[in-house]
Chains A and B, each alone.
Chain A
Amino acid sequence: MNSALWTHLVKDLRIEWRSKDAINSMLFFALLVVVLFSMSFDPQGAFSRTIAGGVLCVATMFASVSALNQAWAREIRHQVLDAQRMAPTSGSQLFLAKVLANFIFVTIVQIALAPVFLVFYNLRIEGQAWQLALVLPLGTWALVANGTFFAALAIRSRNRELLLPLILFPIFLPALLAMVIATTSILTGDSDPGLWIKLLTGYDIIFTTVSLLLFDVVFHAE
Chain B
Amino acid sequence: MQTRGHPNRLGIRGWVAGGRWGFERYLYTLHRLTGLGLLAYFAMHIFVTSARALGPESWDRAMDVVSGPLFAVGEYLVFAAFAFHAVNGVRLALIELGYAVGRPIEPVYPYATSVGRQRRLARAVVMIAAVIALWGGLDFFVLT
> Are these two chains actual partners, yes or no?
no
